[in-house]
Amino acid sequence: MSEGVVLYGRGLVKRFGATVALGGVDLDVRRAEAVAIMGPSGSGKSTLLHCLAGIMKPDAGEVVLQGGRIDGMRERDRSALRRTRFGFVFQFGQLLPELPAEENVALPLMLGGTPRREAVARAREWFGPLGLAGMEGRRPGELSGGQAQRVAIARALVTGPAVVFADEPTGALDRTTGHATMRLLVEATGHNGASLVVVTHDPEVAAACDRVVEVRDGFVVAAGGQHGGFHAGQQAVQQFGQQFGQQAGLHAGQQAGLHGGFHAGAGPVMGASGGAGGVGGGPVEGRAW
């Protein structure tokens, strides 16, 4: 495994009947790096995310997390890994409507055996840094779309994961709220030492990431910003926008501060240790994002 690479896939193949969703994909994700996966509908980008996250087993190839293969694990073991080493943010949040926000955030900890009182206390640490102070007791139906996604971000980070996976995390939000949410997601993951893998159709969302990977017909056809920072990633987003007739809006993204060098050095973290992942289980000390 290359130095600094926390997760990689090699030769990933996935078929659904006669349809080849992935035709032999290689992808590396480095520590505290944000990677955007873009492509048209049906290109294989969500299938790639699901294979990397252990949600789906590839038909061929391997997925390796911090030196250990995960693609051959039993479902029970992959489920435990997803709960402890990975975090997830979905398009619609997927919060449990009957639970208050603080218990939604604490849920992965409680499922892993952490006593409720301790789990909720650790969950509450995230509300201030994520702009949710005073909303700990609100249920999802009492939150705005942007607030609900910030609760989902807290839930994804509370266990101190090595990698956070986000599938269209801004797809249900308006443009302004979506970009603010994406900026927060990139900053929060990077400052807490977690890598971020995002599937998105939005070039401006992709521009918030360090690197952009384009998937088409089950293959990676372009990758911008490979360890070269935001400028090269912008070029890849521009190319994607031109190819699919979309406006990248990169200048507006810069003005909105979609990328402020969030990974230029993760600060100290507070809270419980992330265990084998070596990632902190609480928000950056003293940081108000």
Contact 97, 89 (CB under 8 A): no
In a domain? residue 195: yes
Q: Which residues contact 7 (CB under 8 A, 6 or more apart)?
A: 28, 29, 52, 63, 64, 65, 66, 162, 163, 195, 197
In a domain? residue 285: no
Which CATH number characterizes residue 90's domain? 3.40.50.300
In a domain? residue 44: yes
- From residue 273, alpha-carbon distances to 105, 122, 269 in Å are 17, 12, 9
Q: What is the span of the domain harbouring residue 173?
A: 5-227
Contact 44, 94 (CB under 8 A): no
In a domain? residue 176: yes
Contact 190, 287 (CB under 8 A): no
| Residue among 272, 275, 284 nearest 122 (CA) | 272
Adjacent-strand bridge partners of 273: 280
pTM: 0.78
Q: Give me the amino acid identity at 45.
A: K
In a domain? residue 117: yes
In a domain? residue 255: no
In a domain? residue 251: no
Q: What is the count of structural domains for the chain?
A: 1
Q: Which residues contact 19 (CB under 8 A, 6 or more apart)?
A: none
In a domain? residue 267: no
Query: Average pLDDT by consecutive 10-residue portion of the chain (289 residues)?
Result: 85 96 96 95 94 96 96 93 94 89 97 96 96 96 94 96 95 90 94 95 92 94 56 42 39 34 32 36 46
CA angle 86, 29, 189 (to 5 degrees): 50
